[in-house]
Structure 1
Amino acid sequence: MVDTADFIIVGGGTADLLLASRLANDLPDHSVLVLESGPSHPDNTHLCQYDRYQAIYRPDLDYGYVSTPQPLLNDRQILYFRGKGLGGSSNINFMAYLYGSAEDYNHWADIVGDESWCWDHSTKRRFKEIETYHMNMTGELVEYADPKPDDHGHNGPVDISLLVQLENGVPCLFDVAVEYGMSPNPDLNSGNPMGIGVSPSTFFEGYRTTSEKVSTGRTTDNLKIFTDARITKILFDRSRAHAVETRDGRQLVAKKEVILCAGSLDTPKLLLLSGVGQSEELTTHGIKPAHHLPGVGKNLADHVHVILGAEFTAGICLDDRNKFEADSAAVQATRDVWAIDGSGLVGLHNSNFLAAWLNLPGLYETEEFKGLDGAWQEFLMREAVPHYELGIGGPRIPPTYVIPDGTSYFPLALFGMNMQSRGEVKLQSGNPDDHPLIDLNYLSHPFDLRVMTDSIREGMKFLETAPGLGSQFTRYILSPKKQAFIREQLLPVFHANGTAKMGKPDDLQACVDTSFRVYGLENLRIADLSVCPLTPK
């Protein structure tokens, strides 16, 4: 391993490798060093697109983080999946590729006081730069998705597929939702996600797109990537970050900048271990404060969700997938085909995901909405800002559920948007080997419980009355009719953000400026989701 580099990037996950490649190519006279704490993954079995909902359960790909007991969720300790190794969470995410609403980025710009974060100013262009859209918009497929080619990128490093394959059952589900009254959205990534559409996905030709896969073949002589390189501390010369320290005590010097890309859970942990954070908190763990920055680890935000699993009396749209999953021999046989060339039914099932972004009737009249500050109220009333998402035809929950003979199964995921509760990431101790303490603090704000309660109401109405579904509805796997269901079943969406948030200089909780530079320190930036001042849709 080299001892010095111009730029040292801590982390080799979803954002890190793209950033490293871009830096190395744009600055050929500068050296870039990527340090990933986990291993590489030469075994490509996790790349099968069929396993988009199951990769999170592989211990070789996940760090196994667990939250602290959550008092408002029946004291449950909740698994919080975080990708381990080169590629990070791009190895285990659900592969949905969705920008969010243009209004998210316009509001982001308002929060941080910088118009360069506006949708039309630069954000839309940045998405186009990193992506290559693969679209099969021919014949009847334009009924389900019809994005404008000029609105998307075609030469970026990240492969995105949209209806390259059409899974049996998806047209049926789409038609049911439209007949029910949802507006068809031909491009969920247009900046206006409202209505129902087919989600683009991060896979191509049967294989998951990961940042490790993307970086393969894009390395240059001035870019070095090391795995199993655990960083435990950033070293400072007064206020200047000049080096990082590995688990075995080795010091690696950054001649220009240290860039943290360890993710929303481990970036604050590393800052705190380095003496950057709330001074009083640091001293309780025997850590000498290097820089008082009280927002480190605070403001942890996420989407949340529950899944309504329902049984029906007769064949419904997803029966082909359900029958395939029940035949383990057939699944293995098609896995063998996939291993050869990425084809077969395992490359077809789970290839499409329908998503609907909707508003909740009557939300603006509730006491919970009226209790929000004026800026949030104004934002939530904008035309392209949804209150919740319906995920239609996703994974079987629980995965062990066996569909009884003679019945059909249908999962409906309900995702809460614009959650107001904020959690915290803290140190368990001064020992870098200890996992961080993750307090999700879900439902601590009454608005969130209102959104989830009303979302479940709307989801039940869809399942019980939609044409082609309601007449065949039998029962829910778990009864969703009481708030107890939410407290027992609510889960993260694993979009953790905000723990080193971007903000104006006078925001005492802000950790970075609009160029990702850490306030009060030199040569240190953060470039991961921990900087988000809000959670994009």
Structure 2
Amino acid sequence: MAETSSTSSYDYIVVGGGIGGCVVASRLNEKLPDASILLLEAGKDPVGHPLTSAPLACFGIHHSDLDWDLLSVAQPHLDNRVCYQAAAKALGGGSSINYATWLRGPKVDYDRWAKLVRDDRWSYENLLPYFERYGGSDSVIKTSSTSHSHQDRKYPLRDLVRSGWESEGACHNSNPQKGDPLGITELVENWNEGRRQFAHKVFDLDRVEVLTEAPTARILLSETNSGTKTQRAKGVQLLDGRTFYARKEVIASCGAYNTPKLLLLSGIGPKEQLKQHGIHQVVDAPEIGRNFHDHPAVALIWKLKQEKLGLPMSAIGGNPAFALGLPADWIVFAGLDKNQEGQCLLDEKNCFTETLNVYAPAGAVHADMDIPFDGLHMSTPVLGMLPTSRGSITLSSNDPTAPPRIDPNYYATELDRTMMRAGIRRALQVFQESTALKDVIDTEVAPEGYPVLTTKSSDDEIDARVRRVANTFFHPAGSCAMGKAVDSELRVYGVDGLRVVDASVLPTPVAAHYQYCIYTVADRAADFIADTGN
């Protein structure tokens, strides 16, 4: 990272030093070596922070100084609960705080995306050259499946869990990164021998000027000289009043919560919302903050009959290989049965749910359930990967330090309810009735006041459980959607010299682990920008 200089003018200003911001700044630096680039990050450099030093520390990052620690508004379809929303407040963004799970997602999702925005450059086939730069032992981001990370990293229930899922119809998928992840497959992570791969360390920022702990208050706009009254992004103003100017482009990479917030604070958005907060509308952009989507998760907690089958903390201390990643090995991707609502209208390669098999009570804390990490409990979080519910990100105030108003609108559609019920029923079948696991599991652990779920539970009972425990799996996206708020080259409609490069541009959900998507989106974006800048 370059030494801080006294200049206030740059060719490119990137606002937000997360995965998208670090990749686009680094790639522009590589492609346009004579260009001056400023990267601004509201948080600090987390390298050396005790919570980023080891994989299992990632659970402690929630609500820490590396987390914006946001909340949703009350969710009407989740018993009016307010849901926790994590967001990285650190250089490196998600790469500094995430769980490091790594899946590209299905071909059909990217092809649907390309069709939706009428630009085949976003199809799976045309993104392949970008995908293939990431993941594997020799690429810029090192990845490994659980079993390949270390020969001693074999969890006690590994074989039984696989057998249980396969006996209930989940086919083994040995290569989920090739565009069809359906079936049971090994968890792939991007821990590198148990260490985080921070985006700002993996990608070369040596000639990029980086300012940390430098939150941005607004984007500065001015009319172009073309006579069309089109606005142009000319720079940014920080919260402390410092101003920096961009000769070519401003690139917003603040994430699905904070990028729409920044644009709205800058007068780019729907008139009525801006007027409500006393902000003068500079650009009429009604889609800023709309189309928000997220992957909801429902954690089923299982009590085991024997402690030695789970993963008590003492086991981790006794086997260093268990500390190389999450206490998990298998994940299962599933569609819907042909006779279930909606599936006949959709592609048979759709992955509607992802189920993780975690040898610890993952998800219990976020569901307000007090379950000990004692080796007697494990969990199967069921994720809704293709939600049709849409929410919004709006302002809570015209104060730049105020959090955005987050409304995911979880579980609002019947198709979402159908998908989640099917995923939960599938997990209940495997863990309660499969030959491999029925004698291993003592019981499904219900929240206080709720019945234990079984395969005989009604839709109403499953829906009641979802309303009680569902939460985000930390994949917020879509709030500056391609084809709605930005064009297919990520340029904000109505503003010259302003792009968005983060998860907010995803026009539709992808059944993926979003860090992989964002590395790819940012790399693709850098080519767009460099082609314009040459």
Could you say which TM-score interval applies, normalised by the shorter chain?
Answer: 0.7 to 0.9
Which letter maps to 1:241? A
Q: Is the contact between residue 161 and residue 437 of structure 2 (CA under 8 Å) also seen in structure 1?
A: no
Q: Report SS of the residue matched to 2:33.
A: coil
Identical pairs, percent: 29
Aligned to 1:485: 465
Q: Deviations over 1:346-404 (max 9, x none)?
A: 53462653111112335x443xx28xxxxxx64x3x23212211111254142541377
Q: Report SS of the residue matched to 1:133.
A: coil
The one of 244, 250, 268 aligned to 1:252: 244
Aligned to 1:219: 205
The one of 151, 155, 159 aligned to 1:168: 155
Report the TM-score when normalising by structure 1.
0.84
Aligned to 1:385: 350
Q: Report SS of the residue matched to 1:470.
A: coil
Q: Is the contact between residue 167 and residue 351 of structure 1 (CA under 8 Å) also seen in structure 2?
A: no
Q: Take 1:116 and 1:462, find their aligned partners in 2: how far apart are those partners?
A: 40
Structure 1 residues 96 and 287, CA, compared in 2 at 3 Å: closer, same or farther? same
Q: Deviations over 1:5-53 (max 9, x none)?
A: 1010000012211111111011101011100011112324333443165
Shift of 1:82: 0.4
Q: Take 1:395 and 1:252, find their aligned partners in 2: how far apart are those partners?
A: 47
Structure 2: which 5+ runs fail to align?
224-230, 447-451, 512-534
Structure 1: which 5+ runs fail to align?
135-153, 335-342, 371-376, 504-509
1:424 aligns with 2:409: no
Name segments (4+ residues, structure 1) moved above 6 Å: none
Q: Is the contact between residue 167 and residue 348 of structure 1 (CA under 8 Å) also seen in structure 2?
A: no
Structure 1 residues 43 and 283, CA, compared in 2 at 3 Å: closer, same or farther? same
Shift of 1:125: 1.4
Q: Is the contact between residue 233 and residue 244 of structure 1 (CA under 8 Å) also seen in structure 2?
A: yes
Aligned to 2:265: 273
Structure 1 residues 346 and 417, CA, compared in 2 at 3 Å: closer, same or farther? closer
Q: Report SS of the residue matched to 1:392.
A: strand
Q: Is the contact between residue 63 and residue 69 of structure 2 (CA under 8 Å) also seen in structure 1?
A: no
Q: Report SS of the residue matched to 2:298.
A: strand
What are the within-5 Å matches in structure 2 for residues 78-227 of structure 1? 78-120=83-125, 122-129=126-133, 131-134=134-137, 154-156=138-140, 158-162=141-145, 163-165=148-150, 166-169=153-156, 170-215=158-203, 218-221=204-207, 223-227=208-212
The one of 498, 510, 520 aligned to 2:478: 498
Aligned length: 477
Q: Is the contact between residue 354 and residue 385 of structure 2 (CA under 8 Å) also seen in structure 1?
A: yes
Q: Is the contact between residue 55 and residue 91 of structure 1 (CA under 8 Å) also seen in structure 2?
A: no
Q: Is the contact between residue 294 and residue 476 of structure 2 (CA under 8 Å) also seen in structure 1?
A: yes
Q: Take 2:305 and 2:429, find their aligned partners in 1: how far apart are those partners?
A: 18
Q: Report SS of the residue matched to 1:203.
A: coil
Q: Is the contact between residue 50 and residue 351 of structure 1 (CA under 8 Å) also seen in structure 2?
A: no
Q: Deviations over 1:179-212 (max 9, x none)?
A: 4431111111110001111122111111022213
Which letter maps to 1:244? V
Aligned to 1:42: 47
Q: Take 2:194 and 2:302, find their aligned partners in 1: how far apart are those partners?
A: 29
The one of 216, 237, 240 aligned to 2:222: 237
Shift of 1:71: 1.9
1:51 aligns with 2:56: yes
The one of 416, 425, 434 aligned to 1:466: 434
Q: Deviations over 1:200-238 (max 9, x none)?
A: 2111111022213324xx2233x1111011111111111
1:435 aligns with 2:403: yes
Q: Is the contact between residue 52 and residue 58 of structure 2 (CA under 8 Å) also seen in structure 1?
A: no
Q: Is the contact between residue 270 and residue 286 of structure 2 (CA under 8 Å) also seen in structure 1?
A: yes
Report the TM-score when normalising by structure 2.
0.85
Which letter maps to 1:168? Y
What are the within-5 Å matches in structure 2 for residues 345-424 of structure 1? 345=321, 347-348=323-324, 350=326, 352-362=328-338, 364-366=339-341, 369=342, 378=345, 380=346, 382-393=347-358, 395-397=360-362, 398-399=364-365, 400-402=370-372, 408-424=376-392
Q: Deviations over 1:447-501 (max 9, x none)?
A: 1112212221121111111232113332111134412111011111111111010
Q: Take 1:251 and 1:180, find their aligned partners in 2: how far apart are those partners?
A: 60
Shift of 1:54: 0.6
Q: Deviations over 1:428-463 (max 9, x none)?
A: 111101001101111222211122122211211111
Q: Take 1:355 and 1:112, find their aligned partners in 2: how far apart are those partners?
A: 31
1:536 aligns with 2:519: no
